Amino acid sequence: EVHLLESGGGLVQPGGSLRLSCAASGFTFSNYAMSWFRQAPGKGLEWVSVIGGSGSSIYNADSVKGRFTISRDNSKNTLYLQMNSLRAEDTAVYFCAKRGMGDFWSGDFDYWGQGTLVTVSS
Amino acid sequence: QSALTQPRSVSGSPGQSVTISCTGATNDVGDYNYVSWYQQHPGKAPKLMIFDVSKRPSGVPDRFSGSKSGNTASLTISGLQAEDEADYYCCSYAGSSWVFGGGTKVTVL
C-alpha cells in the first residue's frame, strides 16, 4: 500500500527557513516523479515544485523560484522541500504527491500525503 | 500562471447530474490534453478523479467523467450521491508548470 507522510512543518518567522520531508513507502520510489503542492487556509490548491524520478528534472512555480528547492534521496525513499526567505503568503498546508504512470506533465497525482502546516508569522 | 476559472458552487439532488466547468486559455487548457480533476473533502488530502481530460484512475466510479472543448474543460458527476459532496479542483499543464482552478463546492441537496 502506498503511503506518504510529510513532516517538518511549524511556525517560522518571516525571512526564516524550514525543510519539509515526505517519507514514501509501498512503491518503487525512484521510478516516479514527485511533487509538492500547498493550500493556504480556506483557499484552493497551488502547485509548488516537481522532481523527476532520478532527480535530474526539476521545475518550480514562479511564486517560489529562487527561494524553494526540491530534492530527493532515493536511497531513503524521501522527498524534501527546502524553503528559504519565507513570507507570510507561504503560510499553507504543504502536501507531497506521487505522479502516476502518465506523461510527465499529465498531472495524474494518484497518491497524496495528509499534509503538514507551515505558518509564517512574527 | 493565471488560475483557471471554476464556478464557486454547484448543487443537485441525489440521482441528478451536475457539471463543473473549468475555463482556461490557449496556453493551458486549450493547448494541451493534460487536464485533471481532484476531489477534496474537508480536512482531507485531494483525490485524483480524472486525468488527461477524460481518463479515470482505477477505483473511481464511472459516474465521474471528463471532457474538453476549446479552452474549457468539464467534469460531470452523474447519479449524484451524498458522498460526492466535496470541493472539486481542475488542474492543467501550462508550460513547465501546472495551474489550478479556484475550486467548486458541490452540494448534494
Residue with cell 457539471: B19
pLDDT (tens digit, 9 = 90+) per residue, A78-116?
999 999 999 999 999 999 999 998 888 998 999 999 999
**Nearest-angstrom CA–CA distance, B95 and B37:** 18
Average pLDDT of chain B? 95
- Chain A residue whose CA is closest to B46: A112
> Would you give the DSSP letter of residue B10?
E
Q: Give the residue among A76, A70, A82, A68 at the shortest CA–CA distance from A20.
A: A82
**Nearest-angstrom CA–CA distance, B8 and A6:** 29
- Report yes or no: A103 and A92 within 8 Å, Cβ to Cβ: no
Nearest beta carbon to residue A45 from set B35, B57, B100: B100
Give all strands (DSSP E) within B14-108, no chain letters: 18-23, 35-40, 47-50, 64-69, 72-77, 86-93, 98-100, 104-108
C-alpha cell at A89: 503568503
Nearest beta carbon to residue A59 from set B36, B51, B97: B97
Cβ-based contacts of B46 with chain A (< 8 Å): 37, 45, 95, 97, 109, 112
Q: Kindly state the average pLDDT of the residues A61-74.
A: 97
Chain-chain contact of B103 with A105 (C-beta, under 8 angstroms): no
**Burial tier of B69 (Cβ tally within 10 Å: 0-12, 13-18, 19+):** exposed
Confidence band for A49, pLDDT divided at 50, 70 and 90? very high
Runs of H (alpha helix) within A1-122: none
**Nearest-angstrom CA–CA distance, B67 and B70:** 10
Cβ-based contacts of B89 with chain A (< 8 Å): 44-45
